[in-house]
Structures are given as structure tokens and as C-alpha cells.
Amino acid sequence: MCACRKAVLLDGGFSTQLEKNVAGEQVDGHPLWSARFLATHPRAVMQTHLDFLRAGAEVIITNTYQASIDGFKEYLNLSKPESLKLMTRAVETAKEAVDTFMKENPTCKVRPLIAGSVGPYGASLHDGSEYTGEYADKVSREDLALWHRPRVETLVAAGVDLLALETIPCRKEAEVLVELIKEFPGVRAWISFSAKVSEAAAGWHGHWRRSKQVPLGILSFRKNI
């Protein structure tokens, strides 16, 4: 799919579609956002992936943007092994959706890809700092790497096709993630930024375009960028 460098169609707003599959449940307004439904409504998560595949998505993204060991421990009362198992389940759920889609479409020649979602450290703070990066000066590179590594390791081990490093709001965390990905030879990834100023976006592009393993994208930005 990606070897020919054509544009590929990603899935859409996961939480919005998930709400249609969890009648009576509110997705927004919870610290774990949609990630908690991996534990409480796994079939609805699978159905949501399948909805996007049936709509034409060529790449689906795991429901792990808000997943973290700390978050699962605090809000689901899970141990570290249980938290990592739940992240593995996220990949297995996405694989089940792809398998179901392929059975429904036996003439489909290209199997949809699964991207493991890696949200920023700020998403675990529940204060909107995944868009501002205000934590960058308060958290060391070492601590950022320690926080991200278990999820990245788990997603890779579970068999995602690539990683989606999403809404990274600061260069420091982006650099940490790019170095972390290098620990997994052969693993491909894309990185998207939540950019506040055009100068920052331009500066990042000059740096990241030299990386063959992690392409660059911008997810959220002001219209003057």
C-alpha cells in the first residue's frame, strides 16, 4: 500500500463514531477518553474500527492515544502488567476488525494497515497541554522516554504495521520519540504536530525531513501557518 507512495485514507474521529456503538455512554469528559472502552466495551471498539474499514479506510489507528500505565492504574485500578495487556488488546481488537473486513471482502487485494497510536505525555495530564507543550520544561528527556517506552514496546510487540505519533506539541518530546523509535529497527512511524506558530513548524520540517523512519505531518495549526 505505501510502497507506491500514493495517498492513503486514514480512519476518522474514533471517539465520535464510538459513541454510536456505546448507546447511553458518554465518551468525552473522562480522563481516559475512549481508551477506557478497551476494558468496558471491547466489542464496541472493534465495531468502530470495522465501521471505518467499511467506509473505505486503508489505515486504522489503535484506540491507545490516551492509554498509559499511570492512567489505567489510576482510573481502572489496573496493575502494570494488566495495563500493558489492555494495550495489547487494543491491537488485537484492531486486527480482528481487519480480519472481519477481509472476510467480508474476499476480492480485496490490499490488507488495511494498523497504526499504533502514541499520544503525547501531555494527554495524560488532562489539562490540554498536549496542545500547548507547557510541560516540556518540567519533564526531562529521560522521563519522557521512560513514560513512552512501555506503550511503544507493547504496540510493536503486538504487531502493528507502523506507529502514529500524534499531536506532539513540542520539539523536545518529538526528538525523544524519534530516538526511541530507533530502538526498534524496521518499525515505521509518522509524527504529527500540534503547532502554535509557523516558525516552529518550519523549523521542525527542516530537521525531521532528514529522518527516513519518521515522516512529518502537522495535525493542528493556526490558519496563518
Helix pair angle (141-158, 80-104), 10° resolution: 40
Q: How much is the pTM?
A: 0.87
Ramachandran class of 203: left when φ > 0, alpha when ψ lies in -120 to 50, beta otherwise = alpha
Domains, the chain, with CATH or none: 14-220 (3.20.20.330)
Digitized pLDDT (tens) for each residue of the chain, 225 residues in all: 445 558 899 999 999 999 999 987 888 889 999 999 999 999 999 999 999 999 999 999 999 999 999 999 999 999 999 999 999 999 999 999 999 999 999 999 999 999 999 999 999 998 888 888 999 999 999 999 999 999 999 999 999 999 999 999 999 999 999 999 999 999 999 999 886 644 455 555 555 555 555 555 445 444 444
